[in-house]
A = this chain, B = another copy of it.
Protein backbone atom coordinates (compact mmCIF):
# COMPACT_ATOMS: atom_id res chain seq x y z
CA UNK A 1 0.00 0.00 0.00
CA UNK A 2 2.22 2.84 1.14
CA UNK A 3 3.71 3.30 -2.30
CA UNK A 4 5.52 6.50 -1.45
CA UNK A 5 7.35 7.29 -4.64
CA UNK A 6 7.84 3.68 -5.59
CA UNK A 7 9.57 3.72 -8.90
CA UNK A 8 9.36 1.00 -11.51
CA UNK A 9 8.48 -1.78 -9.15
CA UNK A 10 7.48 -4.08 -11.96
CA UNK A 11 10.07 -5.10 -14.54
CA UNK A 12 10.32 -2.86 -17.56
CA UNK A 13 7.67 -0.61 -16.10
CA UNK A 14 8.85 2.48 -17.87
CA UNK A 15 5.86 4.64 -18.61
CA UNK A 16 2.95 3.22 -16.67
CA UNK A 17 3.20 3.33 -12.96
CA UNK A 18 -0.45 3.00 -12.17
CA UNK A 19 -1.40 0.60 -9.46
CA UNK A 20 -4.64 -0.34 -11.13
CA UNK A 21 -2.74 -1.15 -14.29
CA UNK A 22 -0.61 -3.69 -12.48
CA UNK A 23 -3.61 -5.33 -10.89
CA UNK A 24 -5.37 -5.34 -14.22
CA UNK A 25 -2.41 -7.06 -15.86
CA UNK A 26 -2.23 -9.55 -13.04
CA UNK A 27 -5.91 -10.40 -13.25
CA UNK A 28 -5.88 -10.69 -17.00
CA UNK A 29 -2.92 -12.98 -16.93
CA UNK A 30 -4.25 -15.06 -14.06
CA UNK A 31 -7.60 -15.60 -15.75
CA UNK A 32 -6.00 -16.44 -19.07
CA UNK A 33 -3.58 -18.83 -17.42
CA UNK A 34 -6.43 -20.62 -15.71
CA UNK A 35 -5.45 -19.68 -12.18
CA UNK A 36 -9.10 -19.34 -11.30
CA UNK A 37 -11.72 -21.91 -12.17
CA UNK A 38 -14.56 -20.91 -14.49
CA UNK A 39 -17.48 -19.56 -12.54
CA UNK A 40 -15.30 -18.81 -9.56
CA UNK A 41 -16.07 -15.54 -7.82
CA UNK A 42 -13.47 -12.80 -7.98
CA UNK A 43 -13.85 -11.23 -4.56
CA UNK A 44 -12.47 -7.72 -4.34
CA UNK A 45 -11.63 -8.02 -0.67
CA UNK A 46 -9.62 -11.19 -1.05
CA UNK A 47 -7.82 -9.83 -4.07
CA UNK A 48 -7.13 -6.54 -2.33
CA UNK A 49 -5.55 -8.22 0.66
CA UNK A 50 -3.75 -10.72 -1.51
CA UNK A 51 -2.28 -8.05 -3.76
CA UNK A 52 -1.73 -5.51 -1.04
CA UNK A 53 -3.83 -2.75 -2.52
CA UNK A 54 -7.10 -1.06 -1.70
CA UNK A 55 -10.52 -2.05 -2.91
CA UNK A 56 -10.68 0.83 -5.35
CA UNK A 57 -7.82 -0.36 -7.51
CA UNK A 58 -9.04 -3.94 -7.52
CA UNK A 59 -12.46 -2.73 -8.48
CA UNK A 60 -11.14 -0.61 -11.31
CA UNK A 61 -9.12 -3.53 -12.61
CA UNK A 62 -12.14 -5.81 -12.40
CA UNK A 63 -14.27 -3.35 -14.31
CA UNK A 64 -11.70 -3.23 -17.07
CA UNK A 65 -11.35 -6.99 -17.14
CA UNK A 66 -15.12 -7.40 -17.29
CA UNK A 67 -15.28 -4.90 -20.12
CA UNK A 68 -12.97 -7.12 -22.12
CA UNK A 69 -15.15 -10.13 -21.55
CA UNK A 70 -12.64 -11.83 -19.27
CA UNK A 71 -15.05 -11.66 -16.36
CA UNK A 72 -18.78 -11.68 -15.88
CA UNK A 73 -20.48 -9.12 -13.73
CA UNK A 74 -23.77 -9.55 -11.95
CA UNK A 75 -25.37 -6.52 -10.34
CA UNK A 76 -24.88 -6.55 -6.61
CA UNK A 77 -23.36 -9.97 -6.95
CA UNK A 78 -19.82 -9.11 -7.92
CA UNK A 79 -17.49 -10.47 -10.55
CA UNK A 80 -16.74 -14.01 -11.62
CA UNK A 81 -14.62 -15.88 -14.10
CA UNK A 82 -16.79 -16.50 -17.17
CA UNK A 83 -17.95 -20.06 -17.66
CA UNK A 84 -17.80 -20.53 -21.40
CA UNK A 85 -19.96 -23.24 -22.82
CA UNK A 86 -18.87 -25.31 -25.77
CA UNK A 87 -21.51 -23.48 -27.72
CA UNK A 88 -19.86 -20.22 -26.87
CA UNK A 89 -16.54 -21.55 -28.03
CA UNK A 90 -18.03 -22.61 -31.33
CA UNK A 91 -19.50 -19.15 -31.80
CA UNK A 92 -16.12 -17.56 -31.26
CA UNK A 93 -14.47 -20.02 -33.60
CA UNK A 94 -17.10 -19.35 -36.24
CA UNK A 95 -16.63 -15.61 -35.90
CA UNK A 96 -12.92 -16.08 -36.46
CA UNK A 97 -13.54 -18.25 -39.49
CA UNK A 98 -15.84 -15.57 -40.83
CA UNK A 99 -13.59 -12.59 -40.35
CA UNK A 100 -9.95 -13.60 -40.33
CA UNK A 101 -9.72 -15.07 -43.82
CA UNK A 102 -11.15 -11.89 -45.28
CA UNK A 103 -8.67 -9.77 -43.37
CA UNK A 104 -5.83 -12.07 -44.34
CA UNK A 105 -6.73 -11.66 -47.98
CA UNK A 106 -6.59 -7.91 -47.56
CA UNK A 107 -3.31 -8.22 -45.71
CA UNK A 108 -1.68 -10.31 -48.43
CA UNK A 109 -2.81 -7.87 -51.09
CA UNK A 110 -1.52 -4.82 -49.24
CA UNK A 111 1.44 -5.93 -47.17
CA UNK A 112 4.81 -4.50 -48.06
CA UNK A 113 8.31 -5.94 -47.87
CA UNK A 114 8.63 -5.11 -44.23
CA UNK A 115 5.46 -7.07 -43.54
CA UNK A 116 6.82 -10.05 -45.44
CA UNK A 117 9.96 -9.91 -43.36
CA UNK A 118 8.00 -9.79 -40.14
CA UNK A 119 5.88 -12.74 -41.20
CA UNK A 120 9.02 -14.74 -41.83
CA UNK A 121 10.49 -13.70 -38.52
CA UNK A 122 7.32 -14.53 -36.62
CA UNK A 123 7.05 -17.93 -38.21
CA UNK A 124 10.67 -18.67 -37.54
CA UNK A 125 10.28 -17.85 -33.90
CA UNK A 126 7.09 -19.91 -33.66
CA UNK A 127 8.57 -22.93 -35.37
CA UNK A 128 11.66 -22.88 -33.15
CA UNK A 129 9.79 -22.41 -29.89
CA UNK A 130 8.94 -25.64 -28.11
CA UNK A 131 5.22 -25.92 -27.53
CA UNK A 132 5.68 -27.56 -24.17
CA UNK A 133 8.24 -25.85 -22.06
CA UNK A 134 9.78 -27.28 -18.91
CA UNK A 135 7.28 -25.30 -16.91
CA UNK A 136 5.49 -26.59 -13.92
CA UNK A 137 2.56 -28.67 -15.13
CA UNK A 138 -0.23 -26.67 -13.57
CA UNK A 139 -3.79 -27.65 -14.26
CA UNK A 140 -5.10 -26.08 -17.42
CA UNK A 141 -1.73 -25.09 -18.81
CA UNK A 142 -1.09 -26.87 -22.06
CA UNK A 143 1.41 -24.69 -23.82
CA UNK A 144 4.39 -22.78 -22.63
CA UNK A 145 3.87 -19.08 -22.24
CA UNK A 146 6.57 -18.49 -24.84
CA UNK A 147 4.86 -20.68 -27.43
CA UNK A 148 1.43 -19.19 -26.79
CA UNK A 149 2.83 -15.72 -27.32
CA UNK A 150 4.76 -16.71 -30.44
CA UNK A 151 1.60 -18.33 -31.75
CA UNK A 152 -0.41 -15.21 -31.18
CA UNK A 153 2.23 -12.98 -32.71
CA UNK A 154 2.43 -15.13 -35.82
CA UNK A 155 -1.29 -15.06 -36.45
CA UNK A 156 -1.46 -11.36 -35.75
CA UNK A 157 1.50 -10.55 -37.94
CA UNK A 158 -0.16 -12.37 -40.80
CA UNK A 159 -3.06 -9.94 -40.57
CA UNK A 160 -1.05 -6.80 -39.88
CA UNK A 161 -0.43 -6.23 -43.56
CA UNK A 162 -3.99 -4.96 -43.85
CA UNK A 163 -2.84 -1.78 -42.18
CA UNK A 164 -6.17 -1.24 -40.45
CA UNK A 165 -5.94 -0.84 -36.66
CA UNK A 166 -9.67 -1.38 -36.24
CA UNK A 167 -9.55 -4.78 -37.86
CA UNK A 168 -6.52 -5.70 -35.80
CA UNK A 169 -8.31 -4.68 -32.62
CA UNK A 170 -11.11 -6.99 -33.63
CA UNK A 171 -8.59 -9.78 -34.08
CA UNK A 172 -7.06 -9.11 -30.67
CA UNK A 173 -10.43 -9.27 -28.99
CA UNK A 174 -11.40 -12.49 -30.67
CA UNK A 175 -8.04 -14.07 -30.02
CA UNK A 176 -8.34 -13.35 -26.33
CA UNK A 177 -11.83 -14.79 -26.18
CA UNK A 178 -10.74 -17.77 -28.21
CA UNK A 179 -7.81 -18.60 -25.98
CA UNK A 180 -9.90 -18.26 -22.84
CA UNK A 181 -12.73 -20.38 -24.15
CA UNK A 182 -10.36 -22.99 -25.47
CA UNK A 183 -8.72 -23.40 -22.10
CA UNK A 184 -11.96 -24.46 -20.51
CA UNK A 185 -13.50 -26.27 -23.41
CA UNK A 186 -14.75 -29.73 -22.50
CA UNK A 187 -12.94 -31.40 -25.37
CA UNK A 188 -9.60 -29.76 -25.28
CA UNK A 189 -6.90 -31.30 -27.28
CA UNK A 190 -3.39 -31.14 -25.89
CA UNK A 191 -2.01 -32.62 -29.09
CA UNK A 192 0.77 -31.12 -31.10
CA UNK A 193 0.34 -27.80 -32.87
CA UNK A 194 -0.55 -27.40 -36.52
CA UNK A 195 3.03 -26.67 -37.49
CA UNK A 196 2.48 -27.74 -41.06
CA UNK A 197 -0.47 -25.43 -41.51
CA UNK A 198 1.53 -22.56 -40.08
CA UNK A 199 4.25 -23.26 -42.60
CA UNK A 200 1.75 -23.28 -45.45
CA UNK A 201 0.28 -20.03 -44.17
CA UNK A 202 3.66 -18.39 -44.21
CA UNK A 203 4.42 -19.63 -47.70
CA UNK A 204 1.13 -18.47 -49.16
CA UNK A 205 1.52 -15.09 -47.48
CA UNK A 206 4.99 -14.26 -48.75
CA UNK A 207 4.10 -15.75 -52.16
CA UNK A 208 1.28 -13.20 -52.27
CA UNK A 209 -1.26 -15.87 -52.97
CA UNK A 210 -4.25 -14.31 -51.24
CA UNK A 211 -6.70 -17.03 -52.22
CA UNK A 212 -4.46 -19.82 -50.99
CA UNK A 213 -3.66 -18.00 -47.76
CA UNK A 214 -7.30 -17.35 -47.01
CA UNK A 215 -8.17 -20.93 -47.79
CA UNK A 216 -5.44 -22.37 -45.60
CA UNK A 217 -6.40 -20.12 -42.71
CA UNK A 218 -10.04 -21.09 -43.09
CA UNK A 219 -9.14 -24.75 -42.96
CA UNK A 220 -6.80 -24.16 -40.07
CA UNK A 221 -9.52 -22.52 -38.02
CA UNK A 222 -12.07 -25.13 -39.01
CA UNK A 223 -9.84 -27.99 -37.99
CA UNK A 224 -8.99 -26.28 -34.75
CA UNK A 225 -12.66 -26.00 -33.93
CA UNK A 226 -13.34 -29.57 -34.99
CA UNK A 227 -10.51 -30.87 -32.86
CA UNK A 228 -12.07 -29.42 -29.77
CA UNK A 229 -15.65 -30.37 -30.47
CA UNK A 230 -15.38 -33.88 -31.80
CA UNK A 231 -13.22 -36.72 -30.64
CA UNK A 232 -9.62 -35.54 -30.33
CA UNK A 233 -8.48 -38.50 -32.38
CA UNK A 234 -10.18 -37.12 -35.46
CA UNK A 235 -8.24 -33.94 -35.86
CA UNK A 236 -4.87 -33.71 -34.13
CA UNK A 237 -4.72 -29.96 -34.61
CA UNK A 238 -4.21 -27.69 -31.69
CA UNK A 239 -3.14 -24.28 -32.90
CA UNK A 240 -5.59 -21.43 -33.34
Chain A contacts to B: CB under 8 angstroms: 15-18, 21, 56, 59-60, 63-64, 67-68, 75-76, 91-92, 94-95, 98-99, 102-103, 106, 164-167, 170, 173-174, 177
Residues in B whose Cβ lies below 8 Å from that of A18: 75-76
Dominant secondary structure of chain A at its interface with chain B: helix
Asked if B16 contacts A167 (CB within 8 A), the reply is no
Q: Which of B63, B76, B164, B177 contacts A166 (CB 8 A)?
A: B177
Task: Give the top 4 A-B pairs by smallest Cβ distance, nearest first.
Answer: A67-B67, A95-B166, A91-B166, A95-B167
Would you give the shortest CB distance from A51 to chain B, in whole angstroms? 18
How many copies of this chain sit in the oligomeric assembly? 2
Residues in B whose Cβ lies below 8 Å from that of A63: 60, 63-64, 67
Residues in B whose Cβ lies below 8 Å from that of A166: 91-92, 94-95, 174, 177
Q: Closest chain B residue to A61 by CB distance?
A: B63
Complex Cα spacing A184 to B87, Å: 39
Asked if A106 contacts B102 (CB within 8 A), the reply is no
Would you give the shortest CB distance from A218 to chain B, in whole angstroms? 12
Complex Cα spacing A199 to B86, Å: 38
Most buried by B among A15, A56, A64, A95: A95
Would you give the shortest CB distance from A25 to chain B, in whole angstroms? 14
Q: Which of B21, B75, B95 contacts A164 (CB 8 A)?
A: B95
Residues in B whose Cβ lies below 8 Å from that of A16: 75
Given A15-B75, A17-B75, A98-B167, 14 more A-B residue pairs with CB atoms under 8 Å apart are: A63-B63, A63-B64, A91-B164, A91-B166, A94-B166, A94-B167, A95-B164, A95-B167, A98-B102, A98-B164, A99-B99, A99-B167, A102-B102, A170-B170
